[in-house]
Amino acid sequence: GRFSGGTRGPCVGHVCPEAAQGGPIALLIDDDEILIDIPQRKLEVRLSKEELAKRRKSWRKPSPKFKKGCLARYMQLVSSAKEGAVLKANLNEDN
């Protein structure tokens, strides 16, 4: 599993696409209501399509925390967690 054993009860371990990539989770704010349906393997935010569209329109990709050095290079070359967070051979590689 993904967890160290410190988690008890139902737990959502990973959501994709990630917030930094502009996935739906990027649009959430504190106190938004979320439905977690374990048998259906579904997460659903309880917001109208209009509200989500409004938030999507105002969303901006966050600036990178690291602009130089090893961590900046790593951010440029690493794939997403969904893809295993592995290093790409070069910047032009899609996977």
Query: pLDDT, tens digit, for every residue of 41-90?
Result: 888 899 999 999 999 999 998 888 899 999 999 988 988 888 888 888 77
Query: pLDDT, tens digit, for every residue of 5-35?
Result: 777 777 777 777 778 888 888 999 999 999 9
Look up 58 and say whether it is catalytic: no
Q: Global pTM? A: 0.64
Q: What is the CA radius of gyration of the chain?
A: 16
Closest CA to 82 of 71, 63, 95, 93: 95
Integer Cα distance of 43 and 24 in angstroms:
10
The catalytically annotated residue of 4, 48, 58, 63 is 4
Running DSSP on this structure, what letter comes out for residue 45? E
Domain regions of the chain by residue span: 13-61, 63-95
